[in-house]
């Protein structure tokens, strides 16, 4: 159980992940002030007890400010752009970015904020929207020890697991490694089960076999049974975002001279998926449905 901090918390970005996280902060007793470009996104927070404000007001009033935004340019504009957080924040304000962005952007943020006397933590999120709603998120944190201490109670209000990965910048790099595996594995599993469907195999028996060997993975054992295999492809983690995250990982691999042959193939597969009908907006477990469509076989469902 988290211990409420006396510091006022700002939260910027109330999308699919940001909204439930901010709601958990409010529910756990933290004083929260929120901002989103879409005014209607703040209403559930206001109803729960938060206060909606402008970005400048959040920056001036909050002691710790969380950002949860779509991509690198969005984060840099909100934090470092004209009229952004850095222009209005008080010295010693701590900015915590939970977005999945280019590590180079994270490094720029950390350096620029440090030069202005502001603290910075990167704390990208693991697990799904459903788990965020339950306050069961996992955080990969890049922070100096004193900053981690300041933000710990807020993270504990939003999740159950905190991994201190190292100094600022290490959190987002850990997230890219995690998502590289998660996304590429999802594509590989989709192709394997499309093949099983083409063979005419019983999907439940095939699952039982695979889950009893080293071929198993979190998709087959944990997520797919409650998502695509049950017919639910409503987005928890959209294919378009999965493609974005994998592209970031591949770019980083290229910069460091790390061969990533499987990742390259998965990125191309997700690029195609993102452009196929409405798949870009579906949960990334729907890669299985697309693989079946491409193979000309029925979608795999397990009762």
Catalytic residue list: 175
Angle at 259 between CA 253 and CA 264, to 5 degrees: 75
What is the distance, to the nearest Å, from the Cα of residue 261 to the centroid of all Cα atoms in its chain?
24
Q: Is 251 within 8 Å of 272 (Cβ atoms)? A: no
Q: Name, in order, each residue with C-beta under 8 angstroms of 7's C-beta and a sequence gap of 6 or more.
A: 63, 64, 150
Name beta bridge partners: 94: 64, 119
Q: Which helix (H) or strand (E) holds 44?
A: helix 43-48
What is the distance, to the nearest Å, from the Cα of residue 168 to the centroid of all Cα atoms in its chain?
17
């Amino acid at each position: 159980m988290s211990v409420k901090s006396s510091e006022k918390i700002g939260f910027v970005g109330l999308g699919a992940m940001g909204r439930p996280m901010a709601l958990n902060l409010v529910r756990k007793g933290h004083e929260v002030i929120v901002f989103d470009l879409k005014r209607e996104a703040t209403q559930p927070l206001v109803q729960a007890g938060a206060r909606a404000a402008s970005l400048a007001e959040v920056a001036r009033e909050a002691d710790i400010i969380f950002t949860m935004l779509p991509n690198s340019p969005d984060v840099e504009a909100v934090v470092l752009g004209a009229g952004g957080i850095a222009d209005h924040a008080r010295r010693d304000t701590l900015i915590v970015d939970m977005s999945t962005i280019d590590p180079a952007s994270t490094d720029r943020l950390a350096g620029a904020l440090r030069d202005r006397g502001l603290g910075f933590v990167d704390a990208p999120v693991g697990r799904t929207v459903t788990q965020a709603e339950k306050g069961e998120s996992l955080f990969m944190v890049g922070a100096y020890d004193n900053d981690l201490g300041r933000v710990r109670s807020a993270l504990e209000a939003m999740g159950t697991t905190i991994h201190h990965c190292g100094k600022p910048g290490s959190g987002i790099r850990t997230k890219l490694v995690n998502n590289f595996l998660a996304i590429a594995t999802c594509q590989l599993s989709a192709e394997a089960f499309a093949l099983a469907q083409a063979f005419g195999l019983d999907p439940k028996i095939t699952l039982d076999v695979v889950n009893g060997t080293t071929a198993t993975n979190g998709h087959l054992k944990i997520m797919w049974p409650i998502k695509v295999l049950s017919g639910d492809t409503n987005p928890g983690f959209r294919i378009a975002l999965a493609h974005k995250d994998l592209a970031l990982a591949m770019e980083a691999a290229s910069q460091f001279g790390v061969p990533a042959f499987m990742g390259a193939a998965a990125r191309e597969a997700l690029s195609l998926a993102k452009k196929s009908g409405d798949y870009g907006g579906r949960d990334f477990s729907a890669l299985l449905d697309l693989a079946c469509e491409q193979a000309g076989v029925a979608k795999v469902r397990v009762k």
